[in-house]
Structure 1
């Protein structure tokens, strides 16, 4: 009887959480979001500080200016977000073909990506996509699902206090590959970020057609071996490229006031 009561109470709590956390993404997809924007910003800031201590930060000022230029052009189209005024951008010195954006306005780009994203438009594809994850609150969505799956894992408070659950929080924020914990974005989230990213880069003056070239380069970089970290949980190259072509066809003409980050 006691066990039944616990199960009933657990079901009631879960139902209450589901009802209170219902929301819609920028594309109209239904989401369950259990964490506040402030919670997510705190987790993003904490995880970013940990990464800056653990990873090697590039000392190449030119690369930093280049990535900052592309990021600034895109984030200018995002507008102000709750919890921060400016996006912080750090270039990490690593062969990883990877990048990420975290709640709270934190962006990391690995120098290995700059060898595959061969121009500013291709880099804008990746940065726009990663910012899309933040705007659509995909990290919140993943952590919310995890929270419901394991009611005993109190991710928010534990992560912020720096406890053993910080790894789970980092995985939910999109940093799981580096830390051996996998909490992948779903295909719907990846496709949604592609759509948002295309819109952002086009509004910022970058050529959205270069998104196809970027993923073609990614396919070559994988070479049949283990894919770059950025692709480890993503749809297949062909699927993504076909979806991007369809998305590009539905975009209005992109802003011709093109940034000139390549010249930096």
Structure 2
């Protein structure tokens, strides 16, 4: 007689008590119940998008800010920012200042569309931006307001309007607490992995389940965050007196810069440029309204 570590006994090599296919379904049901409780208890409505989000209540904006500042300090130990006196660095800093100045108005306007109140977590942010020497066509903004723009983005952006659209997009990720949402998603994924391991799934079964989760949940969720950042970032750039119409040629240039090597949309964390352009074109009338409403020089 063999005894397995979970207390199930088997004779003649036959295991009992594991459920259909050798899987302990009762274990999966217990974990599913816990995951559902965790999801429901941490669910709320984002005032800026009007959509349901799940953010672990144990992750506060201050916690995110601390993690962002830690990541920023670590980055600066390996990356050397370009001198603040550099014309490109000065241009990037001026763009950020204009965008940050309009955050309260844009947040209030977006929240009002959903009859909600903006949280204004940006009030505690320590805003800063550095231009980093790299061929990467990229930029990012960490929770807490620390931002980096890579020099590789400059020739693709070509002008301040396009650069503001990219920077507004990255700033929006921090304002919408996308980092906390991703950490919460990771915890849910970890719950699923623990459930699979303790239920007796073998490696191939676990891989199949995680593939379904990735293509069915994780990747679409990431693309949704990118679309949200595109929308709010566009409104922010428009309110700061930049021309939102530059978003279309920007993403055409982004597509050209990638050399057509982007993966298919279903297997990517980002919408493909064609989808992005289509979404931005649909948002353009709203962006122009924001520009007319909040940009003093446009009045």
TM-score normalized with structure 2 length:
0.67
Q: Kindly indicate whether residue 167 of structure 2 is the aligned counterpart of residue 131 of structure 1.
A: no
Cα drift, residue 226 of structure 1: 6.0
Q: Choose from 93, 111, 118 the match for 1:68.
A: 93
Q: Kindly indicate whether residue 240 of structure 2 is the aligned counterpart of residue 204 of structure 1.
A: yes
Q: What value does the CA root-mean-square deviation take over the aligned residues?
A: 2.9
Answer 1 or 2: which has greater helix percent.
2
- Alpha-carbon contact 1:117-1:123 (below 8 Å) kept: yes
- Alpha-carbon contact 1:89-1:108 (below 8 Å) kept: yes
Shift of the 81–253 alpha-carbon distance from structure 1 to 2, 3 Å rule, reads closer
- Partner of 1:173 in structure 2? none
- Partner of 2:291 in structure 1? 254
Cα drift, residue 20 of structure 1: 2.6
CA distance, structure 1, for counterparts of residue 256 and residue 122 of structure 2? 39
- Partner of 1:144 in structure 2? 184
| Secondary structure in 2 matching 1:186 | helix
Shift of the 119–130 alpha-carbon distance from structure 1 to 2, 3 Å rule, reads same
CA distance, structure 2, for counterparts of residue 133 and residue 9 of structure 1? 34
CA distance, structure 2, for counterparts of residue 137 and residue 114 of structure 1? 27
Q: Choose from 26, 29, 46 the match for 2:70.
A: 46
Cα drift, residue 212 of structure 1: 0.8
Kindly report which structure 2 residues correspond to 1:81-92, keeping only aligned pairs within 5 A, or say none.
81=121, 84-92=124-132
| Secondary structure in 2 matching 1:54 | coil
CA distance, structure 2, for counterparts of residue 103 and residue 215 of structure 1? 25
CA distance, structure 2, for counterparts of residue 83 and residue 204 of structure 1? 18
Kindly report which structure 2 residues correspond to 1:118-197, keeping only aligned pairs within 5 A, or say none.
118-151=158-191, 186-197=222-233
Shift of the 254–104 alpha-carbon distance from structure 1 to 2, 3 Å rule, reads same
- Partner of 1:107 in structure 2? 147
- Alpha-carbon contact 2:99-2:164 (below 8 Å) kept: yes
- Partner of 1:20 in structure 2? 41
TM-score normalized with structure 1 length:
0.76
- Alpha-carbon contact 1:142-1:185 (below 8 Å) kept: no
Structure 2: runs of 5+ lacking an equivalent: 1-5, 8-23, 105-119, 194-217
- Alpha-carbon contact 2:138-2:150 (below 8 Å) kept: yes
Shift of the 140–184 alpha-carbon distance from structure 1 to 2, 3 Å rule, reads farther
| Secondary structure in 2 matching 1:107 | strand
- Alpha-carbon contact 1:41-1:103 (below 8 Å) kept: yes
Shift of the 258–64 alpha-carbon distance from structure 1 to 2, 3 Å rule, reads farther
Cα drift, residue 145 of structure 1: 0.6
- Partner of 1:216 in structure 2? 252
Aligned length: 227
CA distance, structure 2, for counterparts of residue 28 and residue 115 of structure 1? 36
Q: Kindly indicate whether residue 31 of structure 2 is the aligned counterpart of residue 31 of structure 1.
A: no
CA distance, structure 2, for counterparts of residue 135 and residue 119 of structure 1? 24
Higher radius of gyration, 1 or 2: 2
Q: Deviations over 1:81-107 (max 9, x none)?
A: 357343111111111100001111111
